[in-house]
Amino acid sequence: MEKLIIQGPSVLTGSVSVGGFKNAAVAVLPATIIQAGVYNLENIPDITDIDCIQAIFNKKGMEWSNVSSNTIRIDTRSLDTYDFTDDEMSSIRASIYFAGALLSRFGHAIVALPGGCNFGERPIDLHIKGFEALGATVRQEYGKLFVDAPNGLKGASIYLDTVSVGATVNIMLAAVKAEGSTTIENAAKEPHIVDLANFLNNMGAKIRGAGTDVIKITGVKELKGHTAYTIVQDMIEAGTFMIAAAATKGNVFVRNVIPKHMESLTAKLEEMGVGVEAGDDFVHIFPKDWPLDKAVIKTMPYPGFPTDLHPQMATLLTQAQGDSTIKETVWLTRFQYANELNRMGARIDVNCPVASIHGGQPLTGAPVSANDLRAGAALVIAGLCATGTTAVSGVHYIDRGYENLVDKFRQLGADIERVED
Ligand code: UD1
């Protein structure tokens, strides 16, 4: 067991570069099995969710080589089974994407039900609804999902009752080679949906409308099996550094960013009095008005305020003057971070789905525990703001989605190290 030990407070300064987007990479990698071929992928983040997908590829006999840091070459030609029920499948959420991809390649898929971060129920009914609309039969038994389309998949019009990233991805994966055209209405618009569509289109798919709420997919018989692609930058990693800079009254250039992806966060930071300057591929965070002002936040699907920046934002709001609220509309019970922040002196009341953050309370270092990936990031930021020593356990959650988090914060002047417990 490892811990992060942080001596605070810190004022972050300097420059940090953001890596490839976890949520895009975990969709693009399963997409490569749709068409037997060899794929060169750049900007793949070095995180444990990707290690888990690599383990699944290896177990299925598919070659995966690390060409250089963050660049891989994978060969999906030898895949000859649609049974993906290995243990690794249950350790990440995105393993469910293998269902759509296998269905597309073989007309059948058996996958273990997915795992992932623990912040309440994470249903897959819309994924199933999508597969069924395309003509597949789906049954769930013994912790596995059995999906079959022995007569092939047929394009359909599918309306998602709730905007779901996962269901949008899975339907896109399943539909690219379906007969006829598929329309996904009320589709998710997140940058990783656009990234997956770009990748699939590079493979020869015909997908239009990704990034809007109507996606149209015209099925094609074959895709190209040899494709090179660079994964889009991680907007959640970028947002985490922007918030950390703001919370520590820091002066930080967050580089390798698509500023457009950051607009909902940028707007809130500016409203609070944080200095924000956006360039072509960077966002500069600097102190402007201090103390920071309170804020009212509601998480929403993209382009709304991302739920995956909710816990980090809660930490920032502990440093603002006055009472702020965060209303969670995506993962209604995502508040496990609040007790941990309160151990550090924060005053956060949770009345699901709303957290009321009574700002202006000085934080003091304490032993705290990350219970999910983004809560872990929130606790690290709190440790940077707090006086004294903070010990964050549950580091394996943070490793799931942040590449070299410790090194990147050290580069910005933080006193943080990773130690064996
Ligand atoms: C993805 C992200 C996750 C992020 C979330 C919301 C990945 C790998 N993970 O998760 O980091 O927090 O989007 O931005 O990209 N829902 C249903 N039925 C379904 C599927 C979802 O009701 O079949 C509901 C969920 O309960 C939730 C909402 O839809 O309230 C959004 O979930 P969804 O967008 O599917 O999240 P994930 O794809 O799991």
Residue-wise pLDDT for 28-87, tens only, equals: 999 999 999 999 999 999 999 999 999 999 999 999 999 999 999 999 999 999 999 988
- Same domain? 295 vs 202: no
Q: How far, in whole angstroms, is CA 329 from its chain's centroid? A: 17
Cα–Cα distances in angstroms (integers) from residue 129 to residues 133, 135, 310, 342, in the given order: 6, 10, 29, 41
- Same domain? 55 vs 142: yes
Q: What is the pLDDT of residue 167?
A: 98
**Is there an atom of ligand 1 within 6 Å of 125 CB?**
yes
Are the beta carbons of 8 and 365 closer than 8 angstroms?
Answer: yes
User: Cα angle at 263 between 259 and 269, to 5 degrees?
Assistant: 110
Cα 305 to ligand 1 centroid, rounded to whole Å: 14
- Tell me what the pLDDT averaged over the chain comes to: 96
Q: What is the pLDDT of residues 342-366, one digit of tens each?
A: 999 999 999 999 999 999 999 999 9
**Is there an atom of ligand 1 within 6 Å of 167 CB?**
yes
**Amino acid letter, residue 340:** E
Check pLDDT > 90 for residue 179: yes
Tokens of 123: 């249903």
- Same domain? 360 vs 306: yes
* CATH number of 212's domain: 3.65.10.10
Q: What is the pLDDT of residue 91?
A: 85
How far apart CA 171 and CA 203 sit, in angstroms, is 17
Q: Where are the beta strands (DSSP E) in 142-218?
A: 144-148, 157-159, 181-185, 206-208, 214-218
Q: Which residues pair with 146 in a beta bridge?
A: 110, 139
Residue in the block written with tokens 């912040």: 119
- Same domain? 217 vs 288: no
Q: Which atom of ligand 1 is nearest to the CA of 329?
A: 30
Nearest CA-CA partner of 168 in 191, 150, 147, 202: 191
Q: Which atom of ligand 1 is nearest to the CA of 306?
A: 14
Pocket probe mutation, ligand 1, options 165, 305, 313, 400, max atoms within 8 Å of Cβ = 165
Q: How far, in whole angstroms, is CA 54 from its chain's centroid? A: 17
Cα 164 to ligand 1 centroid, rounded to whole Å: 5
- Same domain? 393 vs 281: yes
**Is there an atom of ligand 1 within 6 Å of 399 CB?**
no
Cα 150 to ligand 1 centroid, rounded to whole Å: 29
- Same domain? 223 vs 295: no
Check pLDDT > 90 for residue 138: yes
- Final residue in a domain of this structure, among 196, 212, 230: 230
Lowest mean pLDDT among 75-89, 104-118, 132-146, 184-198: 104-118
Q: What is the pLDDT of residue 164?
A: 98
**Is there an atom of ligand 1 within 6 Å of 26 CB?**
yes
Q: What is the DSSP letter of 151?
A: T
**Is there an atom of ligand 1 within 6 Å of 93 CB?**
yes
CA atoms within 13 A on the CB side of 225: 12
The closest residue, in CA terms, to atom 22 on ligand 1 is 123
Q: What is the greatest pairwise CA distance in the chain?
A: 64
Q: Where are the beta strands (DSSP E) in 25-152?
A: 38-42, 63-68, 71-75, 83-84, 108-112, 137-141, 144-148
- Same domain? 240 vs 205: no
| Residues with catalytic function | 117
Strands 296-298 and 323-327: parallel
Into how many domains does the chain fold?
2
Cα 190 to ligand 1 centroid, rounded to whole Å: 11
- Same domain? 409 vs 261: yes
- Final residue in a domain of this structure, among 230, 255, 278: 230
**Amino acid letter, residue 362:** P
Q: What is the pLDDT of residue 117?
A: 61
- Same domain? 102 vs 174: yes
Are the beta carbons of 236 and 401 closer than 8 angstroms?
Answer: yes
- Same domain? 260 vs 214: no
Cα 331 to ligand 1 centroid, rounded to whole Å: 8
- Same domain? 270 vs 351: yes
Tokens of 65: 């080589």
Cα 163 to ligand 1 centroid, rounded to whole Å: 8
Tokens of 297: 């936040």
Check pLDDT > 70 for residue 194: yes
The closest residue, in CA terms, to atom 37 on ligand 1 is 166
Q: Which residues pair with 305 in a beta bridge?
A: 299
**Is there an atom of ligand 1 within 6 Å of 186 CB?**
no
Q: What is the pLDDT of residues 202-239, one digit of tens each?
A: 999 999 999 999 999 999 999 998 899 999 999 999 99
Q: What is the pLDDT of residues 83-126, one digit of tens each?
A: 999 888 888 888 999 999 999 999 999 999 987 666 677 899 99
- Same domain? 251 vs 325: yes
Tokens of 172: 């896109």
Q: Which residues pair with 251 in a beta bridge?
A: 13
The reply to whether the predicted model has a pTM over 0.95 is: yes
Cα 420 to ligand 1 centroid, rounded to whole Å: 33
Tokens of 4: 């992060």
251: Cβ contacts below 8 Å, ≥ 6 apart: 11, 12, 13, 245, 284, 285, 286, 287
Q: Which domain holds residue 318?
A: 2-19+233-420
**Is there an atom of ligand 1 within 6 Å of 418 CB?**
no
213: Cβ contacts below 8 Å, ≥ 6 apart: 163, 185, 186, 187, 189
The closest residue, in CA terms, to atom 35 on ligand 1 is 164
Query: Percentage of the chain surpassing pLDDT 90?
Result: 94
- Final residue in a domain of this structure, among 200, 230, 260: 230
Q: What is the pLDDT of residue 121?
A: 75
Pocket probe mutation, ligand 1, options 22, 119, 122, 372, max atoms within 8 Å of Cβ = 122
